[in-house]
Structure 1
Amino acid sequence: MKHNYLIAILPPPELSQQIDEIRKACSEKYKIYKALRPPVHITLLFLKNLDDTFEPQLINSLEAARNFSPFTQELENYDAFVRNEVVFIKAIINKEITTLYRNIKKILGDAAKEPRSQITPHITIAYRDLKDQFPQIYTEYKNKSFEASFPVDHFTLLKHDRIRWNILRDYVAKPGDQQSELNI
């Protein structure tokens, strides 16, 4: 059987709850619900339709990505991917998240199938089922402010069971272990 996997940074529970309230308010106001399905997260990599037989290798391979130093992730205001009609909270790009993203891509090799060389970190507020509401939602959120920061000392592997996303494993940072960071 094939499943989707998500390698992500999950904010701490208090911040996740605060952002989830923002998602719920948008969802209720505009009658859109798809953004509520995954947990509040910053996507590092999305792995689509991987065979179950790959799962043990995926879990083990990601151990090598634990060699990052903990860092602070800042969130600031709202923005959108206009072409894809996605409204989100901006996660400020930094060297640490870029290095973590590139290390994971390198470790997973062909399994990553990720065409992007750069990460665009963000936390989605609304997407996929927007239909005609996108301009109105984006207009509402683009001038709102939001600021927060949180420590990142781990990333998480999640698996979709065709109903919901489930945490498979957290990978806690072990600075200096295993392979060295990529040079940016």
Structure 2
Amino acid sequence: MQKSQNLFFIALLPPQEIQDYANQIKQYFADQYASRHAQKSPPHITLQPPFEWLDENVPALEACLQEFASRQKAVPITLSGYGAFVPRVIYINVVRNPELLALQAALMTHLQRELAIVDKVSQTRPFAPHMTVAFKDLTRQNFKAAWPEFQQRELYFEFTADKLTLLRHDGRRWNIKAEFSFLSS
């Protein structure tokens, strides 16, 4: 019998009102620039990029994340303006801070040590926290049209991230599988 593997990733999700705002931006990209791919996941800050995991081992993954999260303090998050990975990605800029960088590094180390989950790409470049609003199906031409419009656009939110979110791909889109609360302060 073939064992079923699925794609998962681990992220921080902003509060609902910020998700609603980011989803309006994603919808704008879908309407104005035919870029719909970012709509396949809730607005998020990726901490652990997508990885394959056996369905039967999900309880072990969830237990590992619960154990990790229970020892973490809530992290202050500031979203300020927009950024881009030229030539295909536009995102809401996440201001780097020591708490966020430490959380991400600790999670990667924990997953590698406990479950042998390793993202090769992340090991070769620094963590660049961001919240994608357009990518993959944003053409180079549409990127060139959209980026000047968003480059100077103002946006500012602050929130406290107090839980990790595990997302699972169902073949079409990413859905929340489980959430793990941080240590209450």
Question: Above 0.5 in TM-score?
Answer: yes
In structure 2, runs of 5+ residues without a counterpart are none
Q: Distance in 2 between matches of 1:74 and 1:148?
A: 6
- Partner AA of 1:20 in structure 2: N
Q: Distance in 1 between matches of 2:120 and 2:95?
A: 21
> Given the two structures, how large is their TM-score scaled by the length of structure 2?
0.88
Q: Distance in 1 between matches of 2:121 and 2:57?
A: 20
SS in 2 for 1:111: coil
Q: Does 1:74 align with 2:78?
A: yes
Q: 2:156 aligns with which of 147, 164, 167?
A: 147
Q: Does 1:112 align with 2:131?
A: no
Does the 8 Å CA contact 2:14/2:159 hold for their aligned counterparts?
A: yes
In structure 1, runs of 5+ residues without a counterpart are 177-184
Q: Distance in 1 between matches of 2:121 and 2:173?
A: 26
- Residue 8 of structure 1 deviates from its aligned partner by 0.6
Mean Cα displacement is larger for which, 167-176 or 58-67?
167-176
Q: 2:171 aligns with which of 159, 162, 168?
A: 162
Query: Superposition pairs for residues 21-100 of structure 1, below 5 Å?
Result: 21-66=24-69, 67-82=71-86, 85-100=88-103
Q: Which residue of 2 aligns with 1:182?
A: none
- Partner AA of 2:16 in structure 1: P
Q: Which residue of 1 aligns with 2:17?
A: 14
Mean Cα displacement is larger for which, 163-172 or 118-127?
163-172
- Counting aligned pairs with the same residue, the percent is 27
Residues 41, 145 of structure 1: CA spacing in aligned structure 2 closer, same or farther, 3 A cutoff?
same
- Residue 148 of structure 1 deviates from its aligned partner by 0.7
- 1:44-82, Cα deviation, whole Å (9 max, x unpaired): 112323222332221111123211111220000011011
Q: Distance in 1 between matches of 2:118 and 2:99?
A: 19
Q: Distance in 2 between matches of 1:3 and 1:167?
A: 13
**Equivalent residue pairs, number:** 175
SS in 1 for 2:48: strand
Q: Which residue of 2 aligns with 1:123?
A: 131
Mean Cα displacement is larger for which, 62-71 or 145-154?
62-71
Q: Which residue of 2 aligns with 1:179?
A: none
Root mean square deviation of aligned Cα: 1.7
- 1:71-112, Cα deviation, whole Å (9 max, x unpaired): 2200000110115x1100100011111111111111111313
Q: Distance in 2 between matches of 1:166 and 1:26?
A: 21
- Partner AA of 1:130 in structure 2: L
- Partner AA of 2:95 in structure 1: I
Mean Cα displacement is larger for which, 130-139 or 152-161?
130-139
Residues 134, 86 of structure 1: CA spacing in aligned structure 2 closer, same or farther, 3 A cutoff?
same
